[in-house]
Amino acid sequence: MDSKRNNDRGGLSALDAEILGSAAGSDTDMEEAEDMELDDSSLSSDASVNGGKSGNARNQWHENNPLLREISLNKLDDYGYVNLETICVDKAFGYSRRRMLEAARWRAKLDVAKGLCYSIEEPFTLEKKSKVGKLHEFHRIHPIFRRDNWNSTDLLCTTTTNEYWERLKPVLQLATLLLESEHMIGYIVGMLDVPSHKKISITAKTLKRLGGEVYWFERKHNPSQVERQKVWKDLYELGNKIMWTEKDMTGDKQVHGYTTGDKKSPEIVLDEEHINIICREVSPVQDAIDWTPGSDEESARLRVKFNLATTMVHEVMHALWRCRYFPHAEPYYRDTRHAELGFQWEQLMYSGVIEGPTTDRGFPYILSTYQWPEPEDEEDNRGALMSHKKWGSGNVPREYAVEMSFIQNFFTLDFWDEVDRYGSSNFFPLKRLGVRTLGKFEYWKSESPTIRGPADPTPQSPDDADERGIINRH
């Protein structure tokens, strides 16, 4: 079972992480850092407990996340990371009259030939010229995400005014655009081209731990038209097999979705809470603490929409592999320490994973970004080739807040025109406000102390962080 989860980062508390400033000579240890309070102006007197969470030291409202622990909600809000003043979602975002993806036109022709839709393009009228994209609305949602593939009683109503479906449409439209993004098609080409994969040399002990031989691949740069159309065909055919299901995942430590099933019938299960927030008008700030001005519902709901679209494409990567090569294990990407096709897609798509920093329902505060694979010390991890230390990574992880303007851009016409003009860098959030921490990473007991890569326990950092580890480029 392949799943997308937060992986319990929790401010690296599981790795005995420390604020970098303490490593430089501060008397503040980790337990004292856990008890640090934010700027008093941002919190009420009962801010240490929220939404049914216990009030002990490791279950404070910020869950020991470095960003929320070290930077006040008021400062995050002032810089534009929490609430938006206005929210704009363009109906035809991604498909302006100047823009129609080649992949979308390719599958639209198939839909028309099958009689699923009468036209590739919207009927042209002067009133719609500046408001509605050229591609017919039916084709703005990939067959993988279409209504017939959802196992939901709310979709049994087949009227054109089904509110549940109308509220879900922007998420599915964004998921379609992400799935068919031109700069990621080479990743899927390389992933599915198994004959080009290369075997990884590992010890007998590692072979036993991983459960068999392992391989690595790399993305195909400048894939040919034949290769691109093969990917479009594979994705289109997956739409005839896949099924989407909702499930209450409360208590599953921020699991957003997982993929199960076999070649013939892959199933993707999504967190019901996210669907409830988007489609059934459940509040996304029900777990938020009381602070001034407070967490805005619609801003939080937009974060949920973005996360759900990302989660869906993440899981499609797993489903696509299952449909072709189940039960063979997923390959590694180049020299990455973990084999996880969904997270690897996110890392390449956004130049990092974008996630909620706490396990609260609905992302009531912010989204943050960090580099994947993230550190962990689990020696029995079946997915990791080696420990974080042996892999040669530095001991200074960084986590940055993601601006809400970046999240909103994905739902606008102008953003996707900018993507056409300036390329994939538009998908990378600016890293202007964040926190760096110092982790104590060890070799696994089974490993020899031979470092693969540079030995760099305390690297010099160009990020200009202050003594508390806070990076502020505003």
Domain edges within the chain = 2-472
pLDDT value at residue 390: 80
Q: Can you name the residues that pair with 370 across neighbouring β-strands? A: 353, 399
pLDDT value at residue 464: 77
Q: In angstroms, rounded to a whole number, what is the distance separating the alpha carbons of residues 3 and 340? A: 9
Q: Can you name the residues that pair with 438 across neighbouring β-strands? A: 18
Report angle CA 179, 360, 79 to the nearest 5 degrees: 75
pLDDT value at residue 278: 95
pLDDT tens for the chain, residues 1 to 474: 666 655 544 433 333 333 333 333 333 333 333 333 334 344 433 333 333 343 333 358 888 899 999 999 999 999 999 999 999 888 889 887 666 688 999 999 999 999 999 898 887 655 555 555 578 889 999 999 999 999 887 766 555 568 889 999 999 999 999 999 999 999 999 999 999 999 999 888 888 888 889 999 999 999 999 999 999 999 999 999 999 999 988 766 668 999 999 888 999 999 999 999 999 999 999 999 999 999 999 999 999 999 999 999 999 999 999 999 988 999 999 989 899 999 999 999 999 999 999 989 899 999 999 999 887 766 666 678 888 878 877 778 899 999 999 999 999 999 998 998 888 899 999 999 999 988 888 888 777 766 555 555 455 556 678 888 888 888
pLDDT value at residue 383: 75
Total-model pTM = 0.86
pLDDT value at residue 421: 87
Q: What Å distances lie between residue 11 and 18, 60, 251, 363, 437, CA to CA?
A: 9, 12, 19, 16, 8
